[in-house]
Structure 1
Amino acid sequence: TIAVIDGACVGGGLELVLACDFRIARASDKTRLGLPEVRLGIIPGFGGTQRLPRLIGIQRSLDFILTGRTVDAKRAQRAGIVDRVIPEEFGPEMIRSVAHAFAIELRSEALRQRIKARRQKLNAQGFLLEKNFLGRRVLFEQARKRVKAEAKGHYPAPLLALEAVEKGYPLDLRAGLAIEAELLGKAIVTNVSKNLIKVFYLSEEMKRDKGVVQSKGVPQEFQRIGVLGAGVMGGGIAQLLAHNNLPARMKDVNFAAVAKGTEAAAKVFNEAVRKRRLTPKEMQNKMALISGAVDYSGFHRVDLVIEAIVENLDLKKKVFAELDSLVPAHAVLASNTSSLPITEMARATKRPDKVAGLHFFNPVHLMPLIEVIRGEQTSDETVASLVAFAKKLGKTPIVVKDSPGFLVNRILAVYMAEASRMLQAGGTIEEIDKALVDFGMPMGPFNLIDEVGIDVAAKVGKIMIEAFGERMGVSGALDKLVTDGRLGKKNGKGFYLYRGKEKQIDQNVYALLNLAPAKGQHFAKHEPEERCVLMMINEAAMCLSEGIIRRPHEVDAGMIFGTGFPPFRGGLLRYADSLGSNRVVERLEYYAGKLGDHFKPAAMLVEMAQQEKSFYN
């Protein structure tokens, strides 16, 4: 039997074609192959953990089974999954003819043997590891160590998938399939699986969301884009545009700055080439889409301008006024600001209906979220067009009302403020960061401040405190670190010291901040993560009640895709529902009595507790 693949072939689809003798695939952008089940908290249950190792070998199959990654047709051929690739230009009739011709070719026993030999091709090390019992034992032990290090005890599915391969591989296929079915049953019933499946449906719902209640007409197309500012964010945005085959015209104050933006884009593309996700020729073609200037030449033809200059409102208003007189009447002006008011920028133009926020997260090529910020006069057409554009870039957009910090940074602000309070109360950087990582966050709050940049965090913090008061922290708390030249990871010195890929806590920070950390564990078990997460839940409830965001699932999308809130917990508000509104209010009131009014429960939460409601019911 021969399977012909044209489009997505993942999960059960790939498992079905693995049951065939041979596979051919069309090399289109839509063709993807993989076994993403572990990302849903389950394992391949239709033969994937048994047939794939027998087809391409244990090591290569584990790379698919344990990571859930998908690949295109050419990479699937290199891995041994696909036996022949059909050019993208071929239509259905030609594909059918190629498949028929391939079937005739396969009458040759020599060809069949060559194909099977290519699938199982091993180097000397691979042969020693896979072809004897002791070698396989070493292979599986090493794989188990890697999985445990990456899963950190939160994700059981990869270990169950590994167990299915290890136990089933030496047996006949029928016995292996029985083992797979048994372990699939164990994975399906876990809370982690249930939460990850909810996150999957959340992602699908976000793909369908057009960003406005009633979408009228077709969204505006953005074919030519100007990027104002060629710094870290500007260069990252230009790279993302070029990656999606969109011309990007970068402007900055001098050619040295423009060159830095171009270098930042090239660095991302070079990494893609190194990982064989792009060919050098493809990189060259994409880099050719990025051009630079120190004036507005070329901006008279753009459909969209994305402003990514320094966080200074007066300066942003000035450049928006300049752009308004230069760009075509149909062009949309978008700011990448992380906290400044879009409505104020719009007032500097004669097209406030075509001004909005388009807040990317750093690093741009990796972070999946974009906040589309609706100003007071932003039109539905502009919002819907930017939402469609964000999806075209492969991102997940959420629409947020114009307000200081928008959604994600506002919730992160109380999270980091509470961590700072615990540090000032005698806690240590290590204790607090470790507690939040153990909870499932990708990094602790002080590590996060270093990643964002202490200077940036200090500036945003002042804006948030001015807008919302003391629950956002103490104004100037980070200024001493900035004055000491500590900007975080970008200059190798912050709460941590950075040496290449290594980092360690800088003990000098305590003296600099006039702190005397306690020895050993200062807080009760689980107190640091409980306090930080409760503050986030409380702030999210306020955002919902104020209309900053429309629905609970958009809050969860923002926190998962914008901050890395642990997907295995289902999202911030899914996690709140798992605790119950009564429990959330009870713990907030406990900490309010003990630590102060910044823990006072939001009115929405109190009402939910009284009515025994949850965010999602």
Structure 2
Amino acid sequence: MAGSIRVTMEVGADGVALIIICNPPVNALHPIIIEGLKEKYAEALDRDDVKAIVLTGAAGKFCGGFDINVFSKVHETGDVSILPEMSFELVSNMMEDGKKPSVAAIQGLALGGGLELTMGCHARIATPEAQLGLPELTLGVIPGAGGTQRLPRLVGLPKAIEMMLKVFKELVVSTTSRALVHAFFAQRSTTKVPGVTDIQLKPRNIRKVAVIGGGLMGSGIATALLVGNISVVLKEVNPQFLQRGQKTIAGNLEGLVKRGSLTKDKMSKAISLLKGALDYSDFKDVDMVIEAVIEKVPLKQSIFADIEKICPPHCILATNTSTIDLNVIGEKTNSQDRTIGAHFFSPAHIMPLLEIVRTEKTSPQAILDLITVGKIIKKIPVVVGNCTGFAVNRTFFPYTQGAQLLVSLGIDLFRIDRIISNFGMPMGPFQLQDLAGYGVALAVKDIYAAAFGTRNFNSVLVDLMAETGRQGKSNGKGYYLYEKGAKPKPDPNVQHVIDEYRRQAKTMPGGKPVTLSDQDILEMVFFPVVNEACRVMDENVVIRAADLDIASVLGMGFPKYRGGLIFWADTVGASYIHSKLSKWAEMYGDFFKPSSYLEERAKSGRPLAAPRTAHQASTRSRM
């Protein structure tokens, strides 16, 4: 590995020294590279036959920035001295103040420290497709090699260097930086699936996909596929529904154009790839079907029985269900090996997560093909096991329930939303429910109750909201009022519904609201989520804890700067979480009862994210 990390120099007859950074795949600034640059620049400046210097990167990429693996070592050891120094000696002294002209020849990537190298040169030349940027802030650090150009102008060069090397060395060991670096690597690791991506399988070419159902989810999925240059057949049950679905897709594409993420030419191309259908006649040559109808088991079973008969034998049979067991959906077919879950998150053409759900019978080829499709349509695929709610919705089912339990105890729901938003979530659980609509919540209510037993908190709040004509954002009336062009505002009239809900719940001690701090409220919402995540990990629903971290960030909006759900929970500590849940379980019941996985980690002191020991794994396999 170290042999492929090097800096080379060639001196031409014209006196130009060509210095090349080589560290596949993106020529990252590993310490070996930085030392190599210093060595080659010193040599070029000293040689009489060198008149000028050109700096570039190998294989069509200038430099993708600092090697983030070094950040991980800093986080592990807390030793910032292992960070290589490049800003003063290399960029300032050798390049910027060098007596020989230095030119950066940029192609491909010039990011972070790579871009800072180009700014240290006397001139730059770039290909039209070159990508330039300083993305360090997404990892919780600032550019550490002179990238903050305005600072020297304000306070002078010596002070600026001192400051940059010091808001950098402090930030790089901060919890925020550790969290963001963890999230970065977590996202990169999701496509490493043992038994699928490591067995020399090649992905098949998915050229044409049928989407069944043109509602909110189906139209969003179709939009994502079309933007990815994949042909789509959209099937609906009647012309009116089909026309509505096609109109929604067109609106989605127009929205992408307005945001600048799609050109008008590409929009026209995408629309040309869409075909409507009212039957299965156009399914004879599709490579994949994605069913996206309402959450009704008999309907989904009927659809899968039909498409198995008409689709070609290689066709992947996928469902967008967010809750229902895949074995139940496909039990009336003979094609369990190509049955798979393709769970998108709403709005499907914007949200980046794709939860790929496999059963024990799903073939590695089908999983690999769906991972590949996910990449093509710019989604982050996370492969998970089959269970009620799968990884994300199962982990977060206590999120809304915990908030509703708090309301039943007399806590103001708008206060709950404010606390959760201040924590870093895009919105609180009640506004989120308004946005998602009440239909899905009502549809899965009984499914969750049957699957999770006494740890399910049975609430009639959504039922009461629906009974009073409230549907959330879709009809402008939910917990909040929604008016076009205005921010959502709390609806004071919803208090009548809350009062009735509390009357039926009868959970307030003595009929009086309980007194809780903001921290209590935050923990009573999120600790049950962590508890369920422990069960998800214990049952091997996810491959690694980091998958649950990135899924929580991309699927539920958990703040990225906190590293994801499990990373954050480990910063809080399993022992503390266990003690609080145990206390609440005595007061309020099994909804808060700690899982055996959490209890074991609390007693042993091992992080929640740590893999099981060999002894624990063997004990688990005998259970």
Same fold (TM over 0.5): yes
Q: Which runs of 5+ in 2 are unaligned?
A: 1-101, 503-507, 611-623
**Residue equivalent to 1:447:** 431
SS at match of 1:249: strand
Contact 2:410 2:514 in 1 (8 A): no
**Residue equivalent to 2:541:** 548
Q: Say whether 1:400 aligns with 2:384.
A: yes
Moved more, 37-46 or 513-522: 513-522
- Pick the aligned partner of 2:493 from 495, 508, 512: 508
SS at match of 2:242: helix
Two-structure CA RMSD over aligned residues (Å): 2.3
- TM-score, with structure 2 as normaliser: 0.76
Contact 1:417 1:471 in 2 (8 A): no
Alpha-carbon offset, residue 250 of structure 1: 0.7
Alpha-carbon offset, residue 522 of structure 1: 4.2
- Pick the aligned partner of 2:588 from 595, 605, 616: 595
| Cα distance in structure 2, aligned partners of 1:495 and 1:455 | 15
Residues 322-401 of structure 1 mapped to structure 2, 5 A cutoff: 322-401=306-385
Alpha-carbon offset, residue 356 of structure 1: 0.7
1:40 partner amino acid: L
| Cα distance in structure 1, aligned partners of 2:260 and 2:453 | 49
| Cα distance in structure 1, aligned partners of 2:588 and 2:514 | 19
- Sequence identity percentage: 35
**Residue equivalent to 2:144:** 45
- Pick the aligned partner of 1:204 from 170, 188, 194: 188
Q: Which runs of 5+ in 1 are unaligned?
A: 51-164
Alpha-carbon offset, residue 504 of structure 1: 1.1
- Pick the aligned partner of 2:219 from 199, 214, 235: 235
Structure-2 change in CA distance of 1:412 and 1:577 (3 Å):
same
Residues 50-129 of structure 1 mapped to structure 2, 5 A cutoff: 50=149
The Cα offsets for residues 500-527 of structure 1, whole Å up to 9 and x where unpaired, read as 2411112222212415799999422311
SS at match of 1:39: helix
1:283 partner amino acid: M
Contact 1:454 1:494 in 2 (8 A): no
| Cα distance in structure 2, aligned partners of 1:362 and 1:425 | 31
Structure-2 change in CA distance of 1:342 and 1:25 (3 Å):
farther
The Cα offsets for residues 300-321 of structure 1, whole Å up to 9 and x where unpaired, read as 1110011111111111111111
The Cα offsets for residues 145-181 of structure 1, whole Å up to 9 and x where unpaired, read as xxxxxxxxxxxxxxxxxxxx4x444466666455433
Structure-2 change in CA distance of 1:356 and 1:178 (3 Å):
same
**Residue equivalent to 1:190:** 174
Alpha-carbon offset, residue 493 of structure 1: 1.3
Structure-2 change in CA distance of 1:173 and 1:363 (3 Å):
farther
**Residue equivalent to 1:558:** 551
- Pick the aligned partner of 1:20 from 121, 130, 134: 121
Alpha-carbon offset, residue 402 of structure 1: 1.5
| Cα distance in structure 1, aligned partners of 2:580 and 2:109 | 46
Q: Say whether 1:226 aligns with 2:231.
A: no
**Residue equivalent to 2:560:** 567
Structure-2 change in CA distance of 1:304 and 1:25 (3 Å):
farther
| Cα distance in structure 2, aligned partners of 1:417 and 1:520 | 18
Alpha-carbon offset, residue 369 of structure 1: 1.1
SS at match of 2:168: helix
**Residue equivalent to 1:576:** 569
Contact 2:152 2:160 in 1 (8 A): yes
1:404 partner amino acid: T
| Cα distance in structure 2, aligned partners of 1:5 and 1:262 | 43
SS at match of 2:253: helix
Structure-2 change in CA distance of 1:173 and 1:237 (3 Å):
farther
Moved more, 411-420 or 268-277: 268-277
SS at match of 1:45: coil
| Cα distance in structure 2, aligned partners of 1:25 and 1:245 | 29
| Cα distance in structure 1, aligned partners of 2:155 and 2:517 | 49
Contact 1:215 1:384 in 2 (8 A): no
The Cα offsets for residues 378-434 of structure 1, whole Å up to 9 and x where unpaired, read as 122222222232122221122222111111111221111010011111111111111
Structure-2 change in CA distance of 1:299 and 1:22 (3 Å):
farther
SS at match of 2:482: strand
Alpha-carbon offset, residue 283 of structure 1: 1.6
Contact 1:458 1:476 in 2 (8 A): no
The Cα offsets for residues 546-578 of structure 1, whole Å up to 9 and x where unpaired, read as 222232111112111110111222111112211
- Pick the aligned partner of 1:461 from 435, 438, 445: 445
1:478 partner amino acid: V
| Cα distance in structure 2, aligned partners of 1:592 and 1:553 | 28
SS at match of 1:235: helix
| Cα distance in structure 2, aligned partners of 1:292 and 1:409 | 31
Contact 2:353 2:381 in 1 (8 A): yes
Q: Say whether 1:32 aligns with 2:131.
A: yes
- TM-score, with structure 1 as normaliser: 0.77
The alignment of Structure 1 onto Structure 2 pairs a total of residues equal to 500
Q: Say whether 1:418 aligns with 2:402.
A: yes
SS at match of 1:302: coil
Structure-2 change in CA distance of 1:289 and 1:2 (3 Å):
farther
SS at match of 1:226: strand
Moved more, 2-11 or 217-226: 2-11
| Cα distance in structure 2, aligned partners of 1:494 and 1:263 | 26
Alpha-carbon offset, residue 215 of structure 1: 3.2
Bigger Rg over Cα: 2
Q: Say whether 1:281 aligns with 2:274.
A: no
